[in-house]
Amino acid sequence: MRVRDVMTTDVATVAPHTDLRDVAALLVQKRISGVPVVDGGRVLGVVSERDILFKERPSDGLHRGVLAWLMDEGDLMLKIDARTAETAMTSPALTIGPARAVADAAALMLDEGVSRLPVVDHGVLVGIVTRHDLVRAFARSDEEISQEIEADPLIRSYWRIPGAWDISVRHGEVTLTGKVGSKEQAQLIEAFVDRVPGVVAVTSRLHWENSQ
């Protein structure tokens, strides 16, 4: 499953000059936690709830807070003094391509501590993917998981004898049975299946030439 399969294409965006209070109102209205700042289709940054919260903290005693250790003082003051989306946004924005695997999006969100990723194709915004989108993909049925695995052309090309294989899925646990060309191909199949959204465990009973 790819990012394009789960992303939202109707993306709420703001322009760089948008007043920060209008940005906050948009987040509340749309019930979203962040919005891309876009100019000519290109993502300049993202304004999140966290960025707006800087406006609600006192500006005195910055050097005493943990935040001052984590951010450059100049950047911190810019956040606090921000009036527009451009001055409040976090930039450059973390983005992802539509052809990337859903597993890649999940890893990037977890590693970077973000809850959304603008989806960019050839430099232009085409959608947005959120943690909620990824959770929805994970909650798919066993049948949908099985269909995705069986339909992948690369996986199908690895089976030694066409049709002499079986993929069973029960409560997200996948069992693979069949004959492939080599141990390396078996490992590639296992790695691919493990990255399919909704899979919680993989049991491999694959075998190959000269395997015991």
Q: What angle do CA 123, 124, 129 make, to 5 degrees?
A: 105
Q: Are residues 52 and 73 in the same domain?
A: yes
Distance CA 168, CA 41 (A): 43
Q: Is there a single domain that holds both residue 74 and residue 175? A: no
Please give the C-alpha separations between residue 79 and each of 25, 73, 114, in angstroms, as whole numbers: 18, 10, 18
Per-residue pLDDT, averaged over 159-168, amounts to 75
Buried b (16+ CB within 10 A) or exposed e, 20-43: beebbebbeeeebebbbbbeeeeb
Last residue of a domain, one of 93, 119, 138: 138
pLDDT in tens, 98-109: 999 999 999 999
Rg (alpha carbons) of the chain, rounded to whole number: 22
Mean pLDDT of 193-198: 92
Q: Which residues contact 1 (CB under 8 A, 6 or more apart)?
A: 101, 102, 137, 148, 196, 197
The C-alpha atoms of residue 15 and residue 84 are separated, in whole angstroms, by 9
pLDDT tens-digit series, residues 14-62? 999 999 999 999 999 999 989 999 999 999 999 998 888 876 655 554 4
- pLDDT of res. 154: 77
Mean pLDDT for 110-130 is 94
Q: Both 157 and 87 in a single domain?
A: no
- Do 23 and 10 lie in one domain? The reply is yes
Same domain, 12 and 61: yes
Same domain, 127 and 194: no
Nearest one of 191, 187, 170, 167 to 178, comparing CA atoms: 167
Supply angle C-alpha 97, 53, 38, rounded to 5: 35
- Of 91, 109, 138, the one marking the end of a domain is 138
Q: Tell whether 51 and 148 lie within a shared domain.
A: no
Instruction: Dihedral sign for Cα 130, 132, 133, 139, please.
Output: positive
Q: Beta strands of the chain (E only): which ranges?
A: 34-39, 42-48, 116-121, 124-130, 165-170, 173-180, 201-208
**pLDDT above 70 (res 160):** no
Mean pLDDT for the chain overall: 86
- Does the pLDDT value for residue 153 go beyond 90? no
Structure tokens at 107: 């890893």
What is the tens place of the pLDDT at every residue in 183-194? 888 899 899 999
Domain extent, residue 14, equals: 3-138
Cα–Cα distance for residue pair 113/97, rounded to 1 Å: 18
What pTM, to 2 d.p., does this model score?
Answer: 0.75
Beta bridge partners of 38: 43
Q: Is the pLDDT confidence value at 152 over 60?
A: yes
pLDDT digits (tens, 9 = 90+) for 11-26: 999 999 999 999 999 9
Asked if residue 129 and residue 27 are part of one domain, the reply reads: yes
Rounded Cα distance between 96 and 190, Å, is 25
User: Which pLDDT score, from 0 to 100, does residue 50 have?
Assistant: 86
pLDDT of residue 158: 75
User: Contact at 8 Å (CB) between 84 and 19?
Assistant: yes
The residue out of 107, 138, 169 marking a domain boundary is 138
179: domain CATH number?
3.30.1340.30
